[in-house]
Structure 1
Amino acid sequence: MSLFDVKPGAIDREEVFQETFQPDRLPGREEILDTLLRTIRTSWDPGGGMIILRGGPGTGKTAVAKALMGESQSGVPAKWVYFEGEASTSYQETIQLTNALRSGPPLNSTGYSRDAVESHFEAALTELDDSHGIVVDGAVPDVHGPILSQLVTHVTRQSSALVGVLVLTRSDEQLLSESVLTETIHLDYTLSELELILEQRVELGCDSEQVSPEVVPLCASYGYQTGTGARGAIELFTEAAQISQEELAPEIVGKHVETAKKRLEVEHLAENLATFEEHAHLLLYAIGSLAVDKRLPAVTREIYAAYERYCEMRSRTPLSHRRLADRFEALLDTGVLEYTEINEGRAGGAYRRYDLAVPWDQLVEPLNRVTDCPNVHRDVARQAGN
């Protein structure tokens, strides 16, 4: 096959695979949208109420909220305020949302007491007319609890005609009001629904002749098994499409999906490892050195000896055992490390034996990408015989 026989990439409408894309119909979510519309039109008539959409990443929460905003049915708000939570504190969030709601001059980002800010927020809510809806997308209850509670309290009053929508990945049970004016829905996708979503995107944004039949089920299965939902399935598909284009392949096939999985694993590991500071990286290199020497699982004492050696190579003062324990916990939390609890009773007491939860050869590239420890990296590679 010559270069002139190769078709351009399978994806011809990149915007269809962007997170911001809003399709005309929502596979797997039409019934939920109908339920919400019916609740707004009938159950709450003539007042308003609060919708709380809960679920993990990639489960269609934002898509449902935006679809609701696009409805023009009688009894559904004609005007919406969409606010995406990004501020780091409840104080900042309240000011930004207040400015999004109010018609007058915006509040400054500083200089107000918390009570004054909350009063301005309440006034802005009260000034809105009956045809308004408010969507707050991505706020975190642990950080933004006060503003969310204030919004829920206001909207669920019998006298309020506002419709509020909270889009939450994690929720606080105190927010889940038992008021009849609150509708709480937990969203999740089935495997078949993920396939329908990806099939829709392929139909809208691809030359389907360049997509082998096994690709959509493989990508949907990845999103389902990893808990990343539609977002993960679409990300894997676009990565596989990129790989097929790099290879000048006539179509996307299963091997491109498998290669894409490995690429994404490296990228996601690198993103996680980039959040650690140097001592956590040195600890991971120490554990890696034991892995290539086939000395895992290992107890803390054995790992600490290797960690001290790498601190010396980097001219760093080793952390105490107690302070290094926090780095062990961080590695455990990210799923890179695992342990077995051993209890030998009075003879030996209780202790942990640590092991890598991810093969070392999968950690080498992302770790090297996010660290500046070339001498340590070379030392581990030398032990591995590379």
Structure 2
Amino acid sequence: MNDPFEGMTNQLFEDKHVLEEDYAPETILEREDEINAYRNALKDVLFGRNPSNIFIYGKTGVGKTAVTRYMMKALQKQVDSRDETDDLYVLFHNCNNDSAYGTLRAFINTLRDDSEPNFPKKGLSTGDALEAFYTTLDERGGTFLLVLDEIDHLAKVNSLLYELPRARSNGNLTHARIGVIGISNNYRFRDSLSPKVKGTLMEKELSFSPYDANELRTILMHRAEKAFVDDAYTQSAISLCAAKAAQDTGSARQALDLLSTGGDLAEDRNDEVVTDDHIHSAETRVQRGRVRNKIRDQTPHAQLILEAVARLESSDETPVRSKSIQSTYERVAAHWGTDPLSSLRSVQDHLSELEMLGFLSRTERNDGRAGGAYYEYELAMDADAVFTAREEIAAEQEP
């Protein structure tokens, strides 16, 4: 058999990585106001003061993490150029499906030399991890900014956010300073924190709004010039990507996915230019991928609860109350070999978050004295898309 890859050439793309999620642009476009607010929140670091705690909110794909990485790089460069400024260490960690202990362990291991053993995965408490973390910080000294991406997915987040900002005032740190930067898609995350944590944090909040079509078009034009060879796309295709993403989520990530997928389809068809037709065809493929990624970002139990509602939806049993969802969820968990959450309240908390994130719609009912007030839930997306996403995620997790 002939080599199936023989003769393949890179037809349209000059540098496809420019359109991918992990690409770090040298210039951040259409976020001037957010960058100015960020700069003001970080300025104390330049003068040896305690850094502010900063919480950043916004939907997926609106530049929260990209701007944060850009600002940390710029701040590090400025600190390195000033002799009078304390050393700066920026530690990033994605909190999705992680615990306070796991997060501290990751930070400790990042700071330890290669010759030192890793902090153990188990056998110690969160208090032990905090003590080891403080020791590591004080041995180095300087200012440490702890960037906690998807902080709303962190288990036992209250314990961490209560302890870290008080470390210096409680005498746990002498030579080091800590600032926490939390990034979240959940605008109501702060409401879930305990009152004592809210009083301790005294954080500065930055909110990232969705991009509009003009802003997305500016971003896409800048990226397309680097991503494609000359004359490989139409201006109309760029505008269409921007318009579709703006109407749906206001996400630059979605707009870039549309353009990248449109380029793939054009290459598959041996076309020389990405046109509107390619973008229209790319939309279905991108939507499927977005559903899968959104579901993957949820905790394992949230995924199982969503699948339970999807099963009820496909059986025409929705809208449905949380108690019925709990029963179906327990069967779904058993099917996947997972121990279910034991309390109805835990299931209800997940349902509320899934509704807030747009996976579910919720209607309040009131049966008066006979039944009182309660919520009913139904799926806010196609059930088959949920089933397909869950099967793909489960397949990826197989050993």
- Same fold (TM > 0.5): yes
138, 142, 149: which one pairs with 1:138?
149
Q: Mean alpha-carbon deviation: is it higher for 233-242 or for 221-230?
A: 221-230
Matches within 5 A, 1:62-141: 62-71=65-74, 72-73=77-78, 74-75=81-82, 79-86=88-95, 88-102=98-112, 105-130=117-142, 132-141=143-152
Note if contact 2:87-2:141 (Cα within 8 Å) is conserved in structure 1: no
Is it true that 1:223 corresponds to 2:245 in the alignment? yes
Q: Report the Cα offset of residue 27 of structure 1.
A: 0.7
Give distance in 2, aligned partners of 1:42 and 1:355.
Answer: 47
For 1:276 and 1:220, locate their aligned partners in 2 and report how far apart those are by CA, in whole Å: 33
The equivalent of 2:331 in structure 1 is none
1:30 Cα deviation from its structure 2 partner: 4.5
Q: Which letter does structure 1 place at the counterpart of 2:286?
A: L
Partners of 1:9 and 1:241 within 8 A in 2 = no
Matched, 1:285 2:314: yes
Give the count of matched residue pairs: 334
Report the equivalent of 2:164: 151
Q: Which of 58, 61, 72 is the matching residue for 2:61?
A: 58
Supply the AA of the counterpart residue of 1:151.
L
Letter in 2 for 1:96: A
- 1:371 is displaced (CA, Å) by 6.2
Aligned match for 2:21, one of 14, 19, 26? 19
* Residue of structure 1 in register with 2:211 after alignment: 190
| 1:158-237 correspondence runs (5 A) | 162=177, 164=179, 166-169=181-184, 170=186, 171-172=189-190, 183-191=204-212, 192-227=214-249, 229-237=251-259
Q: Identical aligned pairs, as a percentage?
A: 21
- The answer on whether the counterparts of 2:361 and 2:378 sit within 8 Å (CA) in structure 1 is yes
AA aligned opposite 2:108: T
- Write the deviation string for residues 166-214 of structure 1: whole angstroms up to 9, x where unpaired: 141144267667888x543222343133322222211221125221112
TM-score, L = length of structure 1: 0.66
Q: Specify whether residues 336 and 59 from structure 1 end up closer, same or farther in structure 2 by C-alpha distance, changes over 3 A only.
A: closer
Match of 2:338 in 1: none
User: Counterparts of 1:217 and 1:18 in 2: how far apart (Å)?
Assistant: 19
Q: 1:29 aligns with which of 6, 28, 31?
A: 31
CA distance in 2: counterparts of 1:24 and 1:273, whole angstroms: 31
Contact 2:165 2:180 (C-alpha < 8 Å) held by counterparts: no
| Secondary structure of residue in 2 paired with 1:166 | strand
Equivalence for 1:242: 264
- Output aligned runs, 1:308-347, within 5 Å: 333=355
- Report the Cα distance in structure 2 between the residues aligned to 1:351 and 1:220, rounded to whole angstroms: 40
Cα deviation per residue 1:78-118 (whole Å; 9 max; x = unaligned)? 64333223462112212222332355654222222332222
**Range moving further from structure 2, 150-159 or 349-358:** 349-358
SS of alignment partner, residue 52 of structure 2: strand
- SS of the residue aligned with 1:200? helix
Q: Which one is further off, 165-174 or 54-63?
A: 165-174
TM-score, normalised on structure 2? 0.64
Q: Distance in 1 between matches of 2:295 and 2:64?
A: 28
Which shifted more, 213-222 or 148-157?
A: 148-157
**C-alpha distance in structure 2 between counterparts of 1:26 and 1:19, whole Å:** 14
Cα separation, 2, equivalents of 1:298 and 1:354: 5
Change (3 A) 1:251 1:299: same
Alignment correspondent of 2:12: 10
> Does the 8 A contact of 2:232 with 2:274 survive in 1?
yes
Aligned alpha-carbon RMSD (Å): 4.7
The C-alpha deviation readout for 1:305-348, integer Å capped at 9, x for no partner, is: xx9xxxxxxxxxxxxxxx9xx79x69x848677687788999xx
Asked if 2 retains the 8 angstrom alpha-carbon contact of 1:53 and 1:187, the reply is: no
Q: Which residue of 1 aligns with 2:336?
A: none
Unpaired segments of 5 or more residues in structure 1? 1-6, 291-296, 301-306, 308-322, 373-386
Deviations 1:8-42 (A, max 9, x none): 54322122122221111111234544554455456
Q: Secondary structure at the match of 1:214?
A: helix
CA–CA distance in 2 between the matches of 1:355 and 1:38? 43
* CA shift for structure 1 position 54: 0.8
Unaligned regions of 5+ residues in structure 2, if any? Answer: 1-8, 297-302, 322-327, 329-343, 393-399
Contact 1:53 1:61 survives alignment (8 Å): no
User: In 1, Cα distance between the equivalents of 2:49 and 2:375?
Assistant: 58
d(CA) in 1 for partners of 2:274, 2:102: 46
User: C-alpha separation between the residues in 1 aligned to 2:137 and 2:45?
Assistant: 22
> Following the alignment from structure 1 to structure 2, what is the Cα–Cα distance between the partners of residues 62 and 350?
40
Indicate if the aligned counterparts of 1:335 and 1:357 stay in contact, CA closer than 8 A.
yes
- CA separation in 2, counterparts of 1:55 and 1:367? 29
